Amino acid sequence: MTETILVITGSDEPNIPLVLEHLNPEDIFRLNTDQILNYLSSLKVEKGSSEFFLTDNSGKTCQMSQVGSIWYRRPPEVITVSDELSENHQKFASREFQRFLLATWHTFVEREPIWVNHPLKLRRIELNKPHQLQVASEIGFQIPRH
């Protein structure tokens, strides 16, 4: 069985189709985070082991143990479940969605797939401006002094 490439993005990301047209569609599972409610997640637990699955609305299933690489390409951070929900319920849904994604990253306990833009590393970089400036200086960028 070939390894799956999991693409985590948004449905409106324009660069995804340009890359995916050069890959085997059978090896690709696209998770559009802005459409997360169209996916089914399931967990199978047996005698000390577990397996996590995602299924899209077309019926295509991604078995997480078969994921060999992940392309994390600008997925929307906040989902809107319904305009009818209160602001507090919207925040709750958004937090639960972030927890779902974090739990998904932690399903890779046996082996870490190859990541293109690991979300936790991206977050660390985004939050560390002094480190960004140091790296920029090291590679030759001119850093303003004031």
pLDDT tens by residue, 48-77? 778 889 999 999 999 998 999 999 998 886
**How far is residue 63's CA from residue 60's CA, in Å, rounded to a whole number?**
10
What is the arithmetic mean of pLDDT over 25-33?
A: 93
How many DSSP H helices and E strands does the chain contain?
A: 4, 7
pLDDT tens by residue, 99-123? 888 888 777 766 789 999 888 788 7
Of residues 107 and 95, more confidence is placed in 95
In Å, how far from its chain's centre is CA 75?
Answer: 7
| Nearest Cα to Cα of residue 73 among 7, 4, 120 | 7
| Nearest Cα to Cα of residue 70 among 17, 125, 20, 4 | 4
Domain limits, the chain: 4-138
pLDDT of 97 higher than 90: no
DSSP 26: G
pLDDT tens by residue, 125-146? 777 888 888 888 999 998 888 6
C-alpha to C-alpha distances, 142 to 104, 128, 129, nearest whole angstrom: 39, 18, 15
72 CB contacts (<8 Å, ≥6 apart)? 8, 9, 115, 116, 117, 118, 119, 122
